[in-house]
Chain A
Amino acid sequence: MAQEASSSTSSKTISLKTGDGEIFEIEASAAKQMKTVQRLIDDLGDDITIPLHNVFSKELPKIIEYYKKDITGEITKDFEAEFVKDLNDDEVKVLFLAANYLDANKLFEFLSQNIADRLESKSVEYVRKYFGVENDFTPEEESKLREERAWSFRGIKEDE
């Protein structure tokens, strides 16, 4: 299917439909930054509402907000700090996974750093709950491990 010339995309908006059925509009230039969206546009055309099954109405507006700033070249450290300031760990995680799904590189990198920052000094139990990880060590293995990494026990927020 022939691609339309991008001369008309400067003011063109793309419709995105979240997994829970809500529709949001973004500029075509912002959509370009989300490679998954761009691939869908390439396949389906830019007149159709693009379905995003794995992204929901809670997080998509935040992502759109980020890329609105990005296309005007206004992303600064301050902006990014503000962006995540009021988000709790779960909200950041959801955004981060959505950015991965959307293949939105810049946002993903920034959120990865933020997640890593939040992980510092957290306990093993916290991390398991956070990512929904099942503990697949036997009790013997766990105690062997604790010995192996006894050096890392300092500075943990929760009890070990």
Chain B
Amino acid sequence: MRSLIMKNLLSRIKTRRKNNKFIRNRNKNILKHKKNQNRISVIEEEEDTEEGFSIKSSAPSQTHGVQPLGNLYLNPGSINSRDTGLGNLHTLTDELVLDILGFLDGTSLGVLASVSKSFYVFTNHEPIWRNLVLDNLIDGFQYNGSWKSTFVSAYYPSFDISSSDRRSFKVRDFYSDYLFQSWLCANLEMKPEWLERDNIVRKRGISVEEFVASFEEVNKPVLLEGCIDNWDALRNWDRDYLVKLCGDDVKFAVGPVEMKLRDYYRYSDQVREERPLYLFDPKFAEKVPKLGLDYEVPVYFREDLFDVLGNERPDYRWIIMGPAGSGSSFHVDPNSTSAWNAVIKGSKKWILFPPDVIPPGVHPSPDGAEVASPVSIIEWFMNFYGATKNWKKRPIECICKAGEVIFVPNGWWHLVINLEESIAITQNYVSRRNLLNVLDFLKRPNASTLVSGTKDRVNLHDKFKNAIEASFPGAIDELTQKEEEKKIQQRKLSFWDSVADVGAFKFSF
């Protein structure tokens, strides 16, 4: 395993949004270097010691010889072939050059590789080809070693791409932090110290009442052991079984495309990238009913009030399959619902922050519709995990293994990364405990954009409320009353608390 010493890591901030538009650096926490109008942003990471990073030992992806900018500064007198090879474009940042190349079709990109070494490196940037594949091969693709090869072999099947891949060459004197870090993040292993902390409460065999009182009602995460031991999925779900069961006629949602399970495994076996795609399908049980029969909702989560909506309920259950390194960066679940996540195969690292604590490096917009955070999960760990060590508000962390279920209370920020190839089932739900929250959320003016998985987003609030009233008349009023009483109690308590603190106040009659 090679190791690299890295200092002053560049943090590329991207805003996660529905439509991909250019995001110039808006983040006010980023230091800007105004030299030559280059908008290169650097977040300086204070490292106590120089720390090495481990590269995945199996076949790292192509780097073409790109080096970090730090190396250029250590080589006085050296030129950067990035700049000479871009001509007038050299004043643009790497991101902007890539954005422009992102507008081109595959053929033009292929041609441009011959312009100069710099163009060669830029036009071979895998994420561009990934976008081309995902935008165009929406009925699925056969991954062929790299996104570029995948694209070329799909559109030019007679061309022997595999032999040319082996011959692709390295360029010298090319320095770029953005491109180097992109490669680095695609090939890094998770560091052991990122996986050490495991401070979640673990419970085995508790009653539903205890779960509700100790965790659901007080909005606390918990890891539940032993509650899915009877799942057939735990016994059955290996690759052979699943491929046979699902056959070649069913396609599952993988990012923006739909593909056969067999083709998905072909991709996940070969892929080496920053944010591997994962299979994430909300209709898995409709597509293959046996999958739905191989598991059942753990006893703690069976009260799910969205049930009253029947077929009109928003998406609520997903099968998740992903290779090591795939996962989800910090987010809060939509609809204000709570969730559980059961690992059937593999293992996942979780990091959770309570609703009122925004994780370091994450910048949500006021309405929560946009969340700006580092590009990849590994990058978050590299640049921000260390900060959590010294915070008073430490996150809750754990590794969830096969057979274990984690409860994610509503509103909690969470980040998940698969430490190995994993399969899991997750469901969102609404119980009496967060019914009022959900109704409140749905009343908000922008709820229609934030609610996922319904066709009729606008009326969801009214529909849901009416359906609850029909099935559980008076329930909403009862809950509202309880909430009011609780609030009054809390106000009373806090008043007396404050009075007790003020030494000057005395009962003097």
Contacts and interface: CB of A to CB of B under 8 A. Distances in A.
Interface of A: 35-36, 54, 93, 97, 100-101, 103, 105, 108-109, 112-113, 115-117, 119-124, 127-128, 130-137, 141-142, 144-152, 154-156
A112 B99 contact: yes
Contacts of B87: 128, 130-134
A36 B161 CA distance: 45
A97 B99 contact: no
A131 B87 CA distance: 5
Interface in B152-171: 152, 155-156, 159, 161, 164, 167-169
11 contacts: A93-B88, A100-B37, A103-B24, A119-B104, A128-B116, A136-B84, A137-B116, A147-B164, A149-B110, A152-B106, A152-B110
B88 A131 contact: yes
B117 A100 contact: no
B115 interface: yes
Contacts of A100: 37, 91-92, 96
A127 B115 contact: yes
A152 B111 contact: yes
Contacts of B84: 133-134, 136
Interface of B: 21-22, 24, 37, 39, 81, 84-89, 91-92, 96, 99-101, 103-120, 152, 155-156, 159, 161, 164, 167-169
Contacts of A151: 110, 152, 155-156, 159, 161
Contacts of A36: 37
A120 B85 contact: no
Contacts of A144: 167, 169
A132 B90 CA distance: 10
A98 to B, nearest CB: 11
B85 A133 contact: yes
7 tightest CB-CB pairs across the interface, nearest first?
A152-B110, A116-B103, A131-B87, A133-B87, A132-B87, A151-B159, A151-B156
Nearest to B157: A151
A145 B37 contact: no
Contacts of B116: 128, 133-137
A120 B104 contact: yes
Contacts of A154: 107
Given A116-B100, A148-B167, A152-B111, 5 more contacts: A103-B39, A117-B103, A120-B108, A133-B86, A136-B117
B100 A112 contact: yes
Nearest to A141: B169
B429 to A, nearest CB: 41
Contact of B119 (A35, A103, A115, A133): A133
A48 B119 CA distance: 41
B88 A127 contact: no
Contacts of A117: 103
Nearest to B23: A105
Residue of B24, B116, B168 ringed by the most chain A CB atoms within 10 A = B116
A136 B172 CA distance: 11
Contacts of A115: 100
A86 B96 CA distance: 25
B104 A145 contact: no
Contact of B86 (A101, A121, A123, A131): A131
Nearest to A115: B100
Contacts of B115: 124, 127-128, 133, 135
Nearest to A156: B111
Contacts of A149: 110-111, 113-114, 164
A142 B114 CA distance: 7
A123 to B, nearest CB: 7
A54 B89 CA distance: 14
Contacts of B167: 144, 147-148
Contacts of B91: 97, 100-101
Given A101-B91, A119-B108, A145 B99 contact: no
Contacts of B37: 36, 54, 100-101
A131 B118 CA distance: 12
Contacts of A147: 164, 167
A135 B99 CA distance: 23
Nearest to B158: A151
A155 B24 CA distance: 34
B51 to A, nearest CB: 35
Contacts of A133: 84-87, 115-116, 118-119
A147 to B, nearest CB: 7
B84 to A, nearest CB: 6
B88 A132 contact: yes
A100 B167 CA distance: 36
A143 to B, nearest CB: 10
Contacts of A127: 111-112, 115, 119
Residue of B81, B84, B103, B120 ringed by the most chain A CB atoms within 10 A = B103
Contacts of A103: 24, 39
A97 B101 CA distance: 16
B159 A150 contact: yes
Contact of A145 (B96, B113, B118, B156): B113
Contacts of B101: 116
A160 to B, nearest CB: 8
